[in-house]
Amino acid sequence: MDSIVVGLQWGDEGKGKVVQKLSRSHKWIVRFSGGPNAGHTVYHGNTKMVHHLLPSGTNENFLFISRGTLVDLETLNSEIKEISKIYPDIKERLFVSPYCRVITPIEKWQDGAIEKTKGKNSVGTTGRGIGPTVSNDANRVGIRLFDLFDQNHLKEKVDLLAEISNFGDQSIADELLSQFEKIKDRVLDPKVEGQILFEGTQGIMLDPMYGTYPYVTSTPTIPSFAFYGSGLKSEKYEVWGVFKAYTTRVGSGPFPTEIFGEAGDDLRKRGSEFGATTGRPRRCGWIDLPQLEYASNISNVDHLVMTKADVLNGLEKVGVCISYDKKIIPYDLGSLKPTIEYVKGWKNLESSEFADFISAIEHHVRRRIKYVSYGPSEEEIFQR
């Protein structure tokens, strides 16, 4: 059976490790959205690597960066070079769709300029050029990978994009072509046969249509986009929803269960909550059950996976948001008042108190937690 892995909060839930775990029973790992603004931390044996564009997987998998993904060629080539030290044959198993949108220095510059202009209303983007690349593509002036097969055509498109953006650097086309040459032979839509694992990015609450707009990402994060974003079909699939035992968020936007002061700092240190892509400290808060239920329903999740359960070990009490004063409306989340109850903490994951915590989540979300992850490596996970 095919699988789709998505995050059920605001990203950074630990999806990379879950994909790595599930990759053992799949042939293809497919990225279908996002770009280098996503960071999946994965351990390949004893080697830690942050995947920004390359799908998580092992030497048994074929990897496909499909058309819904935004590609920064410099980042992609850097990752290929890094992971080739672990899997020397990686390029033979990697394919990149020619329909992928290309992030250029123009969009990165635009990203910074737009955020600066917004001032106090900035959304806290990663500065990787994601939003402007999607915007330029919608305006039919963006660059796709297939444009790089024709040098003269590419230079015309780059000149137009630069003129529209008031960007003066004329060396961009040559830089793009230089990077493109390194992966040119891997740019094609492959014939995908065998079981597929679709790897999502960010989290459901960052989806531009179903999340906390305008504090969202620029490409869809819901699992139903996997097929549109990849161009692939699936006869039968299951959705895996990943969430932390608490909640985190990077950047601006509403966060009803956020913890401030010493308690927030303590949780951040316990969980090493700093962005894999930007290094920014993440905002931390208690688990939000209404939010988790909303994201699970929108995603039609079949299985839940809890990560970082061990981070809360040893706390005297643990906060749980059980309700709001009114129904969740994502764009109005900042106006909702959460009801937070405190449950008795647990010593370790064998404690009855932790079992009670699990049961409370499953009862509210009406889905079973199939795996519990308690550390960074692939082996540090158990099935329930």
Local structure of residue 77 (DSSP, 8 states): H
Contacts of 362 (CB under 8 A, 6+ apart): 304, 368, 369
Q: Which two tokens stand for residue 382?
A: 């158990």
Cβ contact 128:111 at 8 Å? yes
Encode 141-175: b = buried (16+ Cβ within 10 Å), e = exposed.
Answer: bbbbbebbeeeeebbebbeebbeebebeeeebbee
Cα 94 from Cα 100, distance rounded (Å): 14
| 3-state secondary structure (DSSP) of residue 213 | coil
DSSP string, 140-180: T--EEGGGGGSHHHHHHHHHHHHHHHT-----HHHHHHHHH
97 burial type by CB count under 10 A (0-12 exposed, 13-18 middle, 19+ buried):
buried
262 burial type by CB count under 10 A (0-12 exposed, 13-18 middle, 19+ buried):
exposed
Cα 268 from Cα 61, distance rounded (Å): 34
Cβ contact 305:68 at 8 Å? no
Cα 106 from Cα 144, distance rounded (Å): 14
Neighbouring C-alpha atoms within 13 Å toward the C-beta of 266? 10
Q: Which two tokens stand for residue 83?
A: 């992971």
| 3-state secondary structure (DSSP) of residue 56 | coil
Indicate which residue of 2, 12, 111, 302 is catalytic.
12
Told to judge if 12 belongs to the known catalytic residues of this protein, a careful annotator would answer yes
Cα dist from 291 to 45, 116, 322, 324, whole Å: 34, 30, 9, 10
Indicate which residue of 2, 26, 40, 207 is catalytic.
40
- Active-site residues, by number, are 12, 40
